[in-house]
Structure 1
């Protein structure tokens, strides 16, 4: 398995045979699959081992049928009708383009789709309320909505509703919780600085500091991921995001006319302001991270939704 260097290993014939027979332990199989992504020699050895099994014969038939129906050749190369499928080659994707494509796919809604424009609309709407209409509670509204934005991004970025190949991705070494965390980091990397900067540009008007929502946003995002292992991403996002909105907006409808903004600012100060509230959110983030780590095996299977 090793080639003399303790940090470099290759797939031996016995390991490839055990993998092809399906008797290799799951962690070793994941390690092997990750290794053959960048090692052509080991990939060829594993491929030869798989061809020697009953499943290999079926896979070969499927491959030949696909290549016969949709022949693919290198750019500029003519494909003759009698060319064996095994001799056809696919055009190689430039390494930089391939890495960029994988990065864009892994980053999820932070760089594609309608999620980023939606975040920009939230930021622009808050600025328009403050400086276009003179509304004094623009920062309070932004702080009430901001923690839900990463939660919505998490809900839209992972699960069968987000990826047509979710079931396949969940079973790969780079999928599962690793992919969910990659997309969550991308969501946070976009929303946290953008909405915090917007809050700094808004008048305070009794609302907490513009950065007071950062820990709650992180805690709710981690809590959503942990809860998603039980009920799925969208349901988990509805519970965490909906719970937050109910908590901060509950006193507002009962406020007398003209005092709704002040009541919202007071409620936000209770939920976000002070060392006690921030410490509680930090503890919630840590507990969510611990629960998420304990529930990691659940991400090795497709989530409910």
Structure 2
């Protein structure tokens, strides 16, 4: 806290919408830690033509929420609001379907290539989960969320963390109970999955998140499955195991994935402001 407070002309410009975006974002960041300026901005907004409309919306929301008393600390509702699309999105049934399907193939259909197939698909599951949990297509309150200081990359990372927290242990444990069939270990997909997720987030600043996830996830599936499907002898399971051993097996391959993950994280950090405008309109 520096003791600085927003001047009146800055607050007036923010209230009437004439303030440039860079100045508006800077002011919103300041309001997170300055209750005095937050109160002044609130009063200025209420004094504009939009004030009565905002007051009506506020009263409607409070009235709708009245039957459910709030007993949790303030941070709990905010956390639930931030993570909700990531825990109720379409990707969650998809994760369960992949895990359950692999177990059924191995132990009911006696398919020996269940683990190689799981390791081939698993890295794109969290990538798809990120795409399906962020954006106006996933969150009915996205327009509201995108206008808050907590939007942008911070919100995308919160939902990505939820996706990873669910998919990584579930798919890895599924791989443990499947027969190896010469495939790499059950955890060999973790670094590739993390790297593809970070790559999708980094590319999202240029392409948009859904397009970026399609590029990274689709690129991985093509790299792994295309050579296998092109084999003339039809031994798909064996060739898939060999292909995965080449891509994710051994210290050298895992070291390459670790280096790629670090590079993607650095690029994402350097491009973090690109998410301030991502899917905002």
* 2:179 matches 1:203: yes
TM-score when normalising by structure 1? 0.79
Please give the secondary structure, in 2, of the residue aligned with 1:251: helix
Contact preservation (8 Å) 2:31, 2:37: no
**d(CA) in 1 for partners of 2:58, 2:84:** 31
**d(CA) in 1 for partners of 2:120, 2:186:** 11
Q: Give the number of the structure whose alpha-carbon radius of gyration is greater.
A: 1
Deviation at 1:59, TM superposition (A): 2.1
Kindly report which structure 2 residues correspond to 1:73-152, keeping only aligned pairs within 5 A, or say none. Answer: 94-96=70-72, 99-152=75-128
Partner residue, 1:83: none
Contact preservation (8 Å) 1:139, 1:207: yes
**d(CA) in 2 for partners of 1:138, 1:225:** 29
Contact preservation (8 Å) 1:231, 1:304: no
Partner residue, 1:32: 30
Please give the secondary structure, in 2, of the residue aligned with 1:58: coil
Please give the secondary structure, in 1, of the residue aligned with 2:72: helix
Please give the secondary structure, in 1, of the residue aligned with 2:273: helix
**d(CA) in 1 for partners of 2:142, 2:63:** 29
Q: 1:170 to 1:73 in 2, by over 3 A?
A: closer
Deviation readout 1:241-297 (Å, 9 max, x if unpaired): 000000110122222455110000000000000111111111111111111112111
**d(CA) in 2 for partners of 1:121, 1:91:** 36
Partner residue, 1:301: 277
Deviation at 1:304, TM superposition (A): 8.1
Higher helix share: 2
**d(CA) in 1 for partners of 2:94, 2:190:** 19
Task: Tell me the number of residue pairs that the alignment of Structure 1 and Structure 2 aligns.
Answer: 275
Contact preservation (8 Å) 2:146, 2:152: yes
Partner residue, 2:42: 47
**d(CA) in 1 for partners of 2:161, 2:99:** 20
Q: 1:46 to 1:276 in 2, by over 3 A?
A: same
Contact preservation (8 Å) 2:201, 2:268: yes
Match of 1:19 among 11, 14, 18: 11
Deviation readout 1:3-46 (Å, 9 max, x if unpaired): xxx7xx6x85x54663333369446412333236xx4x654333
Match of 1:58 among 49, 52, 73: 49
**d(CA) in 2 for partners of 1:31, 1:215:** 34
Kindly report which structure 2 residues correspond to 1:107-256, keeping only aligned pairs within 5 A, or say none. Answer: 107-256=83-232
TM-score when normalising by structure 2? 0.85
**d(CA) in 1 for partners of 2:209, 2:57:** 35
Q: Which sections of structure 2, spanning at least 5 residues, go unmatched?
A: none
